[in-house]
Amino acid sequence: MSEPDAPPAGSTADPATSPPLTAAGSAEERVHHALELAYRHLAKRDRTVAEVRRHLERRSVGGPSIERALAELHDLGYLDDRRYAQRYVEDRRRVDGWGRLRIAAGLRRMGIDEPLVEAALAGDPDARREPDLAVETLERRLGGAPLADDRGRGRALRLLATRGFPLETAYDAVRTYERRCDERGDG
């Protein structure tokens, strides 16, 4: 078998646009075709096992070929849901300022199994800082401006809830934010 990400010898067709291999092709050819499609899909960004499986299913790749391709990609280190979940937690926390609830929902949507979701969240180095991160989110979003009334507090709570912070954390963050505004003399 040639390189997994190279087209089969003598082939000039683009596997993403070529018709799916039928049962007439050998099992090895079908797996090779599945690997070609998967490598092209993985070239854009890291993916979960579920995402690659759905991609191959949409391209009419048969179940046994999908399973063999997924196993090979896992063995080669191209697919690792545990690694994906850890990176996702770090990126969503640091880049997007998300709370644990939104991060967990995102991982589930990507097809990550619940034990891996919980493990990734448990391994989050910023988990203990979540209350501080919620206050920092308010500081960035509101620019240190005091909350004028209950309506402003409600908007601040909705902002934090939308970002995936648990309600109790959001309440505490709003109180801390208001206290800081008062200490600065903004309120």
What pLDDT was estimated at residue 148?
87
Answer whether 0.85 is exceeded by the pTM.
Answer: no
C-alpha torsion sign, points 129, 92, 84, 115: positive
78 φ/ψ angles, rounded to the nearest 5 degrees = -80, -25
**Residue 9 in this model has a pLDDT that exceeds 80:** no
What pLDDT was estimated at residue 186?
59
Which band of pLDDT confidence, cut at 50, 70 and 90, is reported for residue 62?
Answer: confident
**Which of 3-7, 60-64, 78-82, 119-123 shows the lowest per-residue confidence on average (mean pLDDT)?**
3-7
**Residue 144 in this model has a pLDDT that exceeds 90:** no
User: Whose CA is closest to 135, among 103, 100, 159?
Assistant: 159
> How would you label 78-96 residue by residue, b for 16+ Cβ within 10 Å and e otherwise?
bbebeebbbebbbebbeee
**Residue 15 in this model has a pLDDT that exceeds 80:** no
Query: Where on the phi/psi map is residue 120: left (φ > 0), alpha (ψ -120 to 50), or beta?
Result: alpha
For range 34-55, the mean pLDDT: 94
Which band of pLDDT confidence, cut at 50, 70 and 90, is reported for residue 184?
Answer: confident
